[in-house]
Structure 1
């Protein structure tokens, strides 16, 4: 069976392809953002906690989103995140923020050193994988932190932590007191 391709069909196909390339970069970025935002799964804090406490976070690893509610529920925010590379690196359950630090330093864990022997301690700065702010959970070595590598957001890219854009972790850092309850799902 032969497939015939008319000049008109070829012209229409070519114009459609060219028009998507000619679309301004900002419109293509907005389209990509719409696709990413639509993949977020709506969460309700009541599905996870009996009360809001001082503040509440639900980090959803499947939709790669962090949901925040303040103490009275009047402020709800949604942030795109990076999530652990594999399910084995993902700890799920209930925890809370026990410490916060601006300009965190980074020390690789023992399991990281087994997999990546070249890893070394890193002081605060532009190469630090924890970004500009970190909130430490009561699970050892698990954090909600920023990242200087913005390509990681929206991807499975961490060794267990939840990462946010630096400007978003700075915002969340100001909103979340120590004691904020957290659930990773």
Structure 2
């Protein structure tokens, strides 16, 4: 075999293995979305848009002006059967929401309080964006930054600081897509 052919095959082999090596860390990870990626999921930004990437545990928000973009780590619903996918919208905004456990929560732990008003011990945190799906919210959490990310039954959680920032920018009717 000719020396040039051996060198070419060697170089092509190195290139192929380099490309494969670059792809390895991406296996099993979610697609990364960015400021210009909203058209892949929304027809317009007239009311802003929220995309929750349940595979990557990220919430993406695009402002109605098309310029503002924020990305947050997002706690996902704990139970796999409650991880809905699809489209909904923000139907209500609450400052200092009251938390009430569901009947299923009481069955699992009868010692739970009947309600927790606004304050540092409230599982909903400081703010909540109620979604069109009954019982689903994007809300804050009383945990400290860096705490393990986990969600409620049908909720998507952000830190209190993050949900407060999002709350200021999101309006009623903002479309939400969970993928």
Q: TM tier, shorter chain?
A: 0.7 to 0.9
Corresponding residue number in structure 1 for 2:10: none
Residues 172 and 183 (structure 1), Cα distance of their counterparts in 2 relative to 1, 3 Å cut: same
| Aligned 8 A contact 2:50 2:59 in 1 | yes
Distance apart, 1:158 and its partner CA = 2.3
Corresponding residue number in structure 2 for 1:108: 101
Corresponding residue number in structure 1 for 2:91: 98
1:138-179 Cα shifts (integer Å, max 9, x gaps): 111100000011368663442120100101100000000111
1:110-137 Cα shifts (integer Å, max 9, x gaps): 3323333332211111110000011101
Q: Distance in 2 between matches of 1:151 and 1:116?
A: 27
Q: Distance in 2 between matches of 1:109 and 1:47?
A: 36
Residue correspondences, number: 147
- CA-based RMSD of the aligned residues comes to 1.9
Corresponding residue number in structure 1 for 2:31: 41
Q: Distance in 2 between matches of 1:128 and 1:54?
A: 29
Greater shift in the superposed pair: 52-61 or 129-138 = 52-61
| Aligned 8 A contact 2:145 2:159 in 1 | no
SS in 2 for 1:167: helix
Q: Distance in 2 between matches of 1:118 and 1:152?
A: 28
SS in 2 for 1:84: coil
Structure with the larger helix share = 1
| Aligned 8 A contact 1:64 1:154 in 2 | no
SS in 2 for 1:172: helix
Unaligned runs of 5+ in 1: 1-38
TM-score (norm 2): 0.75
| Aligned 8 A contact 1:109 1:141 in 2 | no
Residues 41 and 104 (structure 1), Cα distance of their counterparts in 2 relative to 1, 3 Å cut: same
Q: Distance in 1 between matches of 2:174 and 2:84?
A: 18
